[in-house]
Amino acid sequence: MKKISVFSVLTGSALFIAGVFSGAGAAQAASEVSYKQDIQPIFNDYCVACHLPGGSGYEASGLDLSNYAGVIKGTKHGPIISKGDPLTSNLMAILEGRTDSSIRMPHSDRRDMNQEDRRILRAWIVEGATKEGYAGKPASVIQELCMDCHIPGGSGYEASGLDMSSYETLMKGTSHGPIVVPGDPVTSNLMVLVEGRAMGGLRMPHNERGAPTPMDRKALRKWILEGAPDN
């Protein structure tokens, strides 16, 4: 149940983000948010003047927004982001004016954060507030779900010849051939298996591992659609 609701929230956010980016002429109708390309620039624009060591915001609260580690660490009282949940994230509460107005950020002598930027931050938190870019997500999905078995010496590699530990070997595929068809998730065996579309019910990862979440599958599908680049 939980997964379904996360997915529908994400789908909603993906739509407006695609709108925002197509206006900006970005290469992708992005359905994921990139920390480096989307999130850090927002903090740089609105917050970093005060929230880095030596700045007034940092000195008063301990919050350093100049890099990912600082953002995740939060203030001296603790984190300002609950991964996956913008509603209980202090960062969003402050930006959306859901706190005592005396601690509205950015401070009133600065302009208010515009709505698109707030939405992008919210979508990023919904997606788990990771440090990755668009293309980094497939790599981390594969690392988490597949690499135990699909490296030389692992059971998956021994049985199928598929070594997923590097881009080159992943693209080489199994002993029968490639599992990724750049640009075409539908005929890519990787997606066939991960989505449970294989004949005979073969599914990856094997059942004793966690199943990929809808977001994991989406990240893989999107990476293939974009031509399966080496990131």
The only residue of 6, 125, 126, 145 in contact with ligand HEC, by rule CB under 6 A: 145
Q: Which two structure tokens, joined as six digits, stand for 17?
A: 């983000």
Q: Does 10 bind ligand HEC (CB under 6 A)?
A: no
Smallest gap from residue 70 Cβ to ligand HEC (A): 11
CA distance 28 to 89: 28
The reply on whether position 140 binds ligand HEC by CB under 6 A is: no
* Pair 181, 192: CB distance under 8 Å: no
CA distances (Å), 123 to each of 61, 72, 130, 159, 174, in order?
Answer: 25, 16, 11, 40, 36
Binders of ligand HEC in range 147-206 (CB under 6 A): 148-150, 155-156, 159-160, 162, 174, 179, 189-190, 193-194, 202, 204-206
CB contact at 8 A, 94 and 104: yes
CB 110 to ligand HEC: min, Å: 5
Q: How far apart are CA 13 and CA 64, in angstroms?
A: 27
Report residue 23: phi and psi, to 5°. -65, -40
Shortest distance, CB of residue 76 to ligand HEC, whole angstroms?
Answer: 8
- To ligand HEC, the closest distance from the beta carbon of 6 in angstroms equals 19
Of residues 84-123, which lie at the interface with ligand HEC (CB under 6 A)? 90-91, 94, 103, 105-107, 110, 113
Q: Which residues pair with 174 in a beta bridge?
A: 177
Shortest distance (Å) from residue 63 CB to ligand HEC: 5
The smaller minimum CB distance to ligand HEC, of residues 15 and 202, is found at 202
